Amino acid sequence: MPPTVAEARRADLVAAIGPRRRKCRPPAARGAQHNRGMRYIDVDGRQLSVVGLGCWQFGEKGWGYGRDFGEAESLAIVRRALELGVTVLDTAEMYGRGASERLVGKALTGAGGDRFLATKFLPVVPLPQVLMRHLHHSLERLGVQHLDLYQLHWPNPLFPLGVQVEGLRRALGEGLTRYVGVSNYSLSRWRRAERLLGVPILTNQVRYNLLHPQPERRLLPHAQATGHIVIAYSPLAQGALSGRYRPGKGPGGVRRVSPLFTEEGLQAAAPVVEALREIAAGRDVTPSQVALAYLISQPRVVVIPGAKSVAQLEANVAAADIQLKDDELLALRRASDLFRLSWLRVSRQLFRSTSNRVESTS
């Protein structure tokens, strides 16, 4: 049976943690080997690696699972991540319909290394009893008795927010998770949820990359001022910032229908990709590594890029050792601003094009 959370634990949660970012090695538990360049955010004595591992791709055919890679690669990626000092592992019940959680759980069985294990509840019917039932299923798939972080995957405006956070309260109260988080929440909704819960909602997992820098306006300043954490998913804009794609040569799978990978979208992103290439060439690294380094240069940010090979994982982790200069950060921000202006025009063009097609078939 998992341990019960006492009132003293609640006090710990309320106090949970200051805005320190340490460049240090996490506890060398279970004989783990750690990457010297990795950086960590200290949360109540726990070390959260600023580069984590996003696990959406595990078991998900839309990301090439079963075609480009499979179970053996998935297990090897998780285990190598732990060896390299990656502590944050993020999955969700909806990824591969539970397959991602099962693969992560299998990889962790007998594996060394410190870890901060996170998963997410899809709040279609976010009643407390439903959340608790789903949480128990996630724990079973992951092969653990409790989590480090349990998150509401999306806002659900059809149910009162107080009802939704009540499930998180029960999860904390029964000791099934150490911390709770939300995902895709605005700042106002994040704050309101925390007020209703009465203890810190440690994290907000949002889309954050150089093509989608909106979290820098309000979410990041809030996290940095209060000791919360922003977890950045899609930190490479699903590969658009890797420099591998160009107009006429986009990706397949779940990304092929994204407006970002249309000819117009890739052209709009070109100034950002070019700025990344220029900085990468001067440092003998890759554009993807520079894009990740930009995000983790911001305090209280954890990035969770996915990986479909050990080599890709190792390249992502190496980004933690890159310290960008002020002029490089400025160049990337300026390129990001150019994309934003171009993307507004592209979005309008795509909307008009889609509307015209609908009208012509009606």
Pull the structure tokens for residue 76: 């090897």
Angstrom distance (rounded) from CA 167 to CA 135: 10
At residue 4, the pLDDT reads 32
Say which range, 19-28, 96-105, 223-232, 303-312, has the weakest mean pLDDT: 19-28
- Residue 264: predicted pLDDT: 85
pLDDT, position 29: 32
**pLDDT for 358 beyond 70:** no
Place of tokens 């008795």: 145
Read off the pLDDT of residues 241-283 as tens digits, 9 standing for 90 and up: 998 887 777 777 777 778 888 888 888 999 999 999 999 999 9
- The pLDDT, as a whole number, for residue 250 is 74
The DSSP code sequence of 213-258 is -GGGTTHHHHHHHHT-EEEEESTTGGGTTSS--BTTB---GGGTT-
Q: Which residues are catalytic?
A: 95
Q: State how far the Cα of 310 lies from the Cα of 81, in Å rounded to an integer.
A: 8
What is the per-residue pLDDT for 112? 80
Alpha-carbon separation of residue 294 from 90, 246, 260, 290, 299 (angstroms):
21, 22, 20, 6, 11
CA-nearest of 326, 332, 214, 212 to 272 is 332
Q: Strand, helix or coil at 246?
A: strand
Read off the amino acid at residue 43.
V
**Domains of the chain, CATH where assigned:** 7-237+285-325 (3.20.20.100)
**CA–CA distance, 88 with 229 (Å, rounded to integer):** 12
The mean pLDDT of 127-147, rounded to a whole number, is 98
What is the structure's pLDDT at 352?
A: 61
**In degrees to the nearest 10, what's the CA dihedral of 87, 88, 89, 95?**
-170
State how far the Cα of 129 lies from the Cα of 126, in Å rounded to an integer: 8
What is the structure's pLDDT at 64? 77
**What is the tens place of the pLDDT at every residue in 3-18?**
333 333 333 333 333 4
The model's pTM: 0.85
What is the average pLDDT score of the chain? 87
Q: Measure Cα distances from 243 to 53, 68, 98, 138, 278 in Å.
A: 21, 20, 32, 36, 11
pLDDT band at residue 32 under the 50/70/90 scheme? very low
Share of the chain above pLDDT 90, in %: 71
DSSP state of 65: B
- C-alpha 309/C-alpha 78 separation (Å) is 10
CB 240 within 8 A of CB 211: yes
Rounded CA-CA distance 31/337 in Å is: 45
Q: What is the CA radius of gyration of the chain?
A: 20
Tokens of 133: 């039932």
